[in-house]
Amino acid sequence: MGQIHLSRRTFAGTGLASAGLVLATGARAFAERPLTAESPLGPFFPLSPPAESDADLTWLKGHSKRASGQVIEVTGRVLDEKGNPIAGARLDLWQANAAGRYAHPSDPAVAPLDPDFQGFASIVSDSKGDWRIVTIKPGSYDSPIGRRTPHIHFDIRGKIQRNIAQLYFPEEAKLNAGDMLYKGLGSEAGTSVAVRNTNDPNKYNWDIVLMG
Ligand SMILES: [Fe+2]
């Protein structure tokens, strides 16, 4: 008899959450991909939709200068737990600039704003579940819960699951290890760490897995 392993997330907030529930089904067993770990929304989601929200966060229309910092490309797919692509998933993402500052009135950071940085994007996965952004590698910053390691916030809306997540960078292992939110992910942390391209260190890949 086959089994379907349901993530505790499936039943988050219910009494079943911690049970590590396993349902017996009659179906053949299949290997599931772990769902992407969830994170708090945090205080810096844009208060209102920014004027520009395309996939290249490094250029703003009418500006003669590109955003400051290390330009990176992040590509990935939105998949269900069986590895099937989720087309048409909406990804809203927001992040600090290279100096670790959000363009948000609640950010108390003294680091400077970058007037050339978009800081937010709203994109949709294509028919193969693929998505891509060009952005600046975010800086780390101090917060009430301690030093935050570089990260990009994502709000992903798939077919039946919406997930708030954070992307982390593999080369920041030391800062990651000291980050309260990263540590809080426990054994799921790996689902939030992008893969750095071995040929081009400015390129990363991050697949997002949602319930399909
Ligand atoms: Fe953040």
Claim to verify: residue 75 and residue 133 sit in the same structural domain:
yes
The predicted pLDDT at position 15 comes to 36
Domains held by the chain: number: 2
CA of 41 to the centre of ligand 1 (A): 9
CA of 153 to the centre of ligand 1 (A): 6
Claim to verify: residue 3 and residue 73 sit in the same structural domain:
no
Q: Determine the structural domain holding residue 5 and report its residue range.
A: 1-30
**pLDDT band for position 110 (50/70/90)?**
confident
Claim to verify: residue 24 and residue 46 sit in the same structural domain:
no
Q: How far apart are CA 176 and CA 171, in angstroms?
A: 9
CA of 138 to the centre of ligand 1 (A): 9
CA of 95 to the centre of ligand 1 (A): 6
Query: CA triplet 76, 196, 80: central angle to 5 degrees?
Result: 30
CA of 207 to the centre of ligand 1 (A): 20
14-23, 99-108, 194-203: segment of lowest average pLDDT: 14-23
Residue from 57, 59, 90 nearest 162 by CA: 90
CA of 141 to the centre of ligand 1 (A): 8
Claim to verify: residue 23 and residue 57 sit in the same structural domain:
no
Tell me the average pLDDT across 41-52: 92
How is residue 196 written in tokens?
A: 């750095």
CA of 28 to the centre of ligand 1 (A): 41
Claim to verify: residue 164 and residue 116 sit in the same structural domain:
yes
The predicted pLDDT at position 174 comes to 98
Claim to verify: residue 24 and residue 118 sit in the same structural domain:
no
CA of 26 to the centre of ligand 1 (A): 43
How is residue 16 written in tokens?
A: 């079943």
* Three-class SS state of 122: strand
The string of pLDDT tens digits covering residues 90-105 is 999 999 999 999 999 9
Claim to verify: residue 126 and residue 93 sit in the same structural domain:
yes
Claim to verify: residue 22 and residue 56 sit in the same structural domain:
no
Claim to verify: residue 20 and residue 55 sit in the same structural domain:
no
Claim to verify: residue 45 and residue 80 sit in the same structural domain:
yes
* Three-class SS state of 53: coil
The predicted pLDDT at position 109 comes to 84
Strand spans (E) along 105-158: 120-124, 130-136, 141-143, 146-148, 151-157
CATH code for the domain of 192: 2.60.130.10
